[in-house]
Structure 1
């Protein structure tokens, strides 16, 4: 989710769900140590709970990055051992570390020594010619032995050569059964699942087995589905959640106030609204909503009246009424 789940995206998502744990885009340890720390690490207090997702393969650098990040108050530190992008591989971290389980365990041990919050790992079921059923149990055992507080498993292999990052999210087959088996074999270890989960019905079915479900692109491209997350986490039916016109107006007003702060601090409206484009999938007027944000919010000097105009294009009350009728029927 590099370049996607920045602080503006997370602020929006927090308005839609008060309970979901939000993750930053992956930030490389070297960038925190030598780069613009405030831009990379700062976030709004309203985002809590939020986890910092780190990339790196040097224990000293990861530890230093955690020490620096401690002042910002993250609720969790996550080590990404699942990203297959070329720029991650060139730095010898991300998914290529799946080949070095012992080294990853050493990284986790070092991170735990300096972190005052939980340290977690996000991994794949394997890479390249590895046999997931053989390597994943050993990988998980090493992470647990190193003190990892939770492990999130993307239920696909990553092919580091021959497939693009996009293809690595689509072509390698999903193996949910293997991930579910890992949970059954490790009942006392927090194991979450990720990969190919596109809606809350699927998420709910995984939660019958797993401790957590991670949504990436599904939550970004159809952010409206997050309105049902809190109900699901409370054991209710997320499909029965009806977001009223008043709810959407409250969201509009919150995002207008937030965007005004961003603009006043030197940002642009588009920095906020680019994350809102996927809000109204399936709603009458959604296409016009997207057009307004995509064409008008990108203009130099665009103000928050664009958000007002975009929301006005959507039939908010009509969609809520149709959902009530569907549930009743």
Structure 2
């Protein structure tokens, strides 16, 4: 049945993935207080599902959809990024009389450095666009997303992509590999401003932070996948380890458990362990659990960005 013959939906559910940063270069802080970035994003198989339903007023509710997810700190008022995304879309189309009830089934840990809030914003934009048949152009959704947060455009695009500016200028890149990661979550959060502050003190960004073309070639050529770890990098890692030495201990444990490489994702506190394949990833997760690191997830990437999974 063609899309034109489908009845107007009562609700729409959109799935959006978590992101990891497999490369993050950080430049010297700008006069506006932001750091210029060059990053390689990868969307991985950990998701939030967002369901929207037409309503007389805006509301949001969040439920945990994973054993390692705690949602008590997720706001249930207008400060929630999902409501802000909905209101931004309404304002873009000058539809002041529209509102929605938003339900978030959260599988991406909160404050874990995997852009769960950005995923919720991206999913809400796509879901409301479909619910109300707005036909918003992709470039317009990306522009709205960029105003909401630096990681929102990537949550819309998914796959593997470079990010520049503050990370919001997203360019998809060819990735023919299937990469397996053990994601190691932290019980304690880590303030992004504090990490950047420590970075300015320790490093200052006075170096070439650009993505190496050879890294993009390693992503294009799966046969050379064993060499990808040569290019994995995060400028913020030393700063995060300075503030949280326990994260460096996680990295060391992952390598001792046969990970190919261990890497901080974004500004942390999530740590990543690269594995050769799915079986290796599960084995690494098991060894880490024996050492007390049992808050882990085995994920793969790249996966698709925000996409519709159900019409109600």
Normalising by structure 2, we get a TM-score of: 0.28
Going by fraction, where is helix more abundant, 1 or 2?
1
**Structure of greater Rg:** 1
Normalising by structure 1, we get a TM-score of: 0.27
Going by fraction, where is strand more abundant, 1 or 2?
2
